[in-house]
């Protein structure tokens, strides 16, 4: 697993751990006692359960809103591409087939230079006519190899999920830094793939041509010449070595530690209010934590892995019907407000 995969895995693992333990605590000490008539009906228990439920609902709502906005932006972009699509030149069709992207590439009628992968469930590569007319055959191959990395790794879907995790777990601001590291690492990994297969010079030339008139990346896409990590990418092309990524800053780590502590206090407060210190001690013991991991975390992790595997298989083995992309004149991506 490359660095991009490790950063994405860290984001999803944190989300699963906090979500699984929070949901299980709410069900075990809030919902079930109420349904079974075992609730103490005390003010402390009600306050603890209500506090945990509120936090989980707010987190889930923020994450769902981010995913919804990503979906809305993706649908708008899809309609735009369908309206602007032009026939694929034979040179591009041949190059796409050689790199394993047959049937997965579209061209849009735009004078701007842009290339990107778009589509969470059925990703495709989109190039503008302006960029295509400026690329040589080997430069086009380099651009396609770069984009194929993003397609095979479902990076549009990963990007949407990473944004949802960061917005949902707003009380853990260090996750934003991990998200940025993931974004940088995936571009560097895609470049290394292209360099290994085509060479650094064609990729550098393709990047420079894509940067000249690309403007801002379209919403809900992973663009070839996104401006955020271009300096690190050019450094890697010049030196042949993967540059280091920015570390999580100390202030963000300290704030995240406080947010995690507040969550743990709230989580511990539910069994404490429901059953007292004896129940709290039992729930915080190694055996109880292991049981919680098996009963709460493992099923969610397995379900998430199976769904992702299914999406990956569908994306990489099946050819989607005509959808995707647009160019930088698209409206800005709607974004959920930061924490």
DSSP letters, 51-78, are: HHHHHHHHHHHHHHHHHHHHHHHHHHHH
pLDDT of residue 310: 84
Burial of 35 per CB tally in 10 Å (0-12, 13-18, 19+): exposed
C-alpha–C-alpha distance, residues 42 and 33, integer Å? 12
For tokens 């663009």, the residue is: 223
pLDDT of residue 294: 79
Domain locations along the chain? 3-317
| β-strand pairing of 115-118 with 85-86 | unpaired
| Assessment of whether the complete model's pTM goes beyond 0.75 | yes
pLDDT of residue 323: 35
Q: How far apart are the first and last CA of the chain?
A: 30
C-alpha–C-alpha distance, residues 245 and 232, integer Å? 8
C-alpha–C-alpha distance, residues 174 and 156, integer Å? 22
Beta bridge partners of 223: 116
Question: pLDDT by residue for the chain (339 residues), tens digit each?
Answer: 889 999 999 999 999 989 888 888 888 777 776 666 665 656 677 787 888 899 999 999 999 999 999 999 999 999 999 899 999 999 999 999 999 999 999 999 988 888 999 988 889 999 999 999 999 999 999 999 999 999 999 999 999 999 999 999 999 999 999 999 999 999 999 999 999 999 999 999 999 998 876 566 777 788 888 777 888 999 999 999 989 888 888 889 999 999 999 998 888 777 777 666 566 556 666 666 677 677 788 888 888 889 888 888 876 654 433 333 335 444 334 333 333
């Amino acid at each position: 697993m490359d660095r991009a995969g490790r950063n994405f895995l860290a984001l999803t693992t944190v989300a699963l751990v906090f979500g699984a333990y929070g949901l299980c605590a709410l069900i075990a000490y809030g919902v079930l006692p109420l349904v079974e008539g075992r609730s103490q009906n005390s003010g402390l228990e009600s306050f603890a359960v209500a506090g945990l439920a509120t936090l989980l609902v707010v987190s889930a709502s923020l994450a769902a809103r981010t995913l919804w906005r990503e979906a809305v932006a993706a649908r708008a972009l899809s309609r735009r591409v369908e309206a602007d699509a032009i026939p694929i030149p034979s040179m591009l069709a041949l190059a796409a087939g050689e790199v394993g992207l047959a049937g997965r590439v579209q061209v849009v009628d735009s004078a701007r230079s842009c290339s990107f992968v778009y589509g969470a469930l059925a990703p495709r590569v989109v190039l503008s006519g302006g960029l295509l007319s400026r690329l040589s055959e080997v430069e086009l191959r380099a651009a396609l190899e770069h984009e194929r990395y993003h397609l095979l790794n479902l990076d549009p879907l990963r990007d949407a999920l990473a944004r949802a995790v960061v917005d949902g777990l707003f009380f853990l601001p260090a996750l934003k830094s991990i998200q940025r590291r993931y974004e940088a690492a995936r571009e560097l990994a895609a470049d290394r793939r292209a360099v290994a297969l085509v060479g650094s010079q064609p990729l550098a030339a393709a990047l420079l041509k894509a940067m000249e008139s690309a403007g801002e990346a379209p919403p809900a896409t992973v663009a070839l010449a996104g401006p955020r990590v271009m300096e690190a990418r050019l450094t890697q092309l010049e030196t042949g070595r993967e540059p280091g990524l920015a570390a999580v800053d100390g202030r963000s780590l300290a704030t995240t530690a406080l947010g995690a502590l507040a969550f743990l206090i709230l989580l511990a407060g539910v069994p404490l209010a429901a059953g007292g210190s004896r129940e709290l001690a039992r729930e915080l013991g190694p055996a109880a934590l292991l049981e919680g991991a098996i009963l709460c975390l493992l099923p969610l992790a397995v379900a998430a892995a199976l769904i992702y595997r299914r999406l990956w298989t569908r994306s990489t083995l099946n050819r989607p019907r005509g959808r995707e992309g647009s160019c930088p004149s698209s409206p800005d991506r709607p974004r959920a407000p930061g924490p």
